[in-house]
Amino acid sequence: MADRELLGDKSVPLRGREGEYADITAALDGARHGGQSIIVVVGAGGTGKTRLLRTAVADASRNWTYVATLLDGASLGSDVQLSAFPPEVLGSTSSGCGDVSRLVLVDNAHLVNPERLESLTNTALSDRRYGALLMAAGRPGRCGITTEWFRGRLSPGTLTIRLGPLPDAAVRDMVADLTGGAPSAALAAFVEQADGNPRLVCELVTGLREEQRLQVTSGLAHLTGTSIPDRAVVFIRRRLDQLSLPCRQLLQVASLLGRTLRLNRIAGVLREPTASTLPLLEEAISAEILDVRGEDLLFQSTLVWCAVRGTVPAPIRLALEQEFGAMSAGTDHADHEGQPDPQGPQLSPAVDDAPVASTNEVLNRLTTKERAIAEMVSAGLTNRQIAAQVYLSPHTVNYHLRRIFRKLDVASRIEVAMLAKSDGD
């Protein structure tokens, strides 16, 4: 069963989508007064498309009467008909007065054949005597909602809403809603693994709560432990299970090279021509395990990357890392110095197979600049805040953090902070 946070439970506020919600309610008000329009909501899985639309419709139902049809593209057949206006409603409505309206919500519209979607659109907007609003929500990509039908609806009568990651402030508010306390710096940094995806934030925090790894003291929610909760790992691995075996294997190998991928490095490690990896990469992109951002190909979020990396058994992971370690070391600086900052340095599940050294011995591996950056990380500063302090670009700070991770043999900002704080105690 989907989490209540994602299906419009009013006990949990809608966070970070206030502007989009206002646009939808304005379109609903137009339909209430006889207008006809289309809303297209496009966003990756877990960005809150369903919640946004259903919350608006639920609110509308308390204010006026309409006839609604809710359709799911995953099970939409060619014989599905839109709800007809009941005779008693039609009888009470004079032509053009807008006392009754039709609402049609098509969720998972990316799974609907474009011709079928066009037919539904024409039916929903066919009777000009009444207000009507068609709301289609789906994922981006080479699918119905973004091809023929979508391009044909880019007109003044169509409202297009694109949902991206939640702003940091909205994520903090969401964590507070789920925990009952404002997130501490360590908890906020841990939740950064979700990269602002509402569903992943919810899975991560709910998993921490289920495992009793959250403590709320004086209105502040604290994190205990640094490993990813089982709930979040299971959620992501279910998505992996839907992929072909060759695609999963490619992703496992790619995860050991870092969150940001280089096709030539993947092909080199797999000893395959670059072109032969393209169908598998396209499969992973379609499943929203990988994402394309500018010129980069990377795992959809740090959390997804961590979960994929965690599927590789430790002995195999160590063997593979040793096998292509020299290749990674030879291209490390070129790979990271010029890349866009991928929302800060990477985090990963707490997997530690190396012998434990003393804190002083570990921290002495760092240069003076790296030590200063580590201390600022322990203070909860972001990459951009650190960059302002040390007069470097955020990209260069990110590069130094990667070096710190490798030198300290850690996988998260939280572990860096713990080491730096223990040295100061």
Per residue in 72-93, pLDDT (tens digit) is 887 775 566 666 665 555 544 4
Write the class of the CATH domain 233-332. Answer: mainly alpha
The alpha-helical segments, DSSP class H, found in 256-379 are 263-270, 274-286, 302-310, 314-323, 325-337, 359-363, 368-378
pLDDT digits (tens, 9 = 90+) for 354-398: 344 455 666 777 887 888 888 888 877 888 888 877 777 777 788
Distance CA(117)–CA(119), nearest Å, equals 5
pLDDT digits (tens, 9 = 90+) for 209-260: 999 999 999 999 998 877 889 999 999 999 899 999 999 988 998 888 888 8
Name residue 344's amino acid.
Answer: G
Q: What Cα–Cα distance (Å) separates residue 417 from each residue in 182, 302, 375?
A: 19, 18, 7
Distance CA(75)–CA(328), nearest Å, equals 45
pLDDT digits (tens, 9 = 90+) for 354-363: 344 455 666 7
| Mean pLDDT (whole number) for 144-169 | 69
Give one DSSP letter per residue of 139-189, joined into a string.
Answer: --SSSGGGSHHHHHT-STTEEEEEE-PPPHHHHHHHHHHHHSSEEPHHHHH
Distance CA(206)–CA(221), nearest Å, equals 13
DSSP state of 379: T
204 pLDDT above the threshold of 90: yes
Name residue 143's amino acid.
Answer: C
φ, ψ at 403 (rounded to 5°)? -65, -40
Are 4-163 and 233-332 in the same CATH fold?
A: no
Query: What is the overall mean pLDDT for the chain?
Result: 76
**How many CA atoms does the CB half-sphere of 87 hold within 13 Å?**
0
**CA angle, 345 as apex, 344 and 350 as ends, to 5°?**
130
In CATH, the architecture of 359-424 is Orthogonal Bundle (1.10)
Distance CA(410)–CA(227), nearest Å, equals 12
Q: What's the order of all strands across the beta sheet hosting 131-138? A: 67-72, 101-107, 131-138, 36-43, 158-163
The more confident residue out of 7 and 165 is: 165
Beta strand 296-299 with 214-217: parallel, antiparallel or unpaired? unpaired
Domain ranges of the chain: 4-163, 168-227, 233-332, 359-424
Question: Which of 148, 189, 144 has its CA nearest to residue 171?
Answer: 189
Write the class of the CATH domain 4-163. Answer: alpha beta
Stated pTM of the model: 0.69
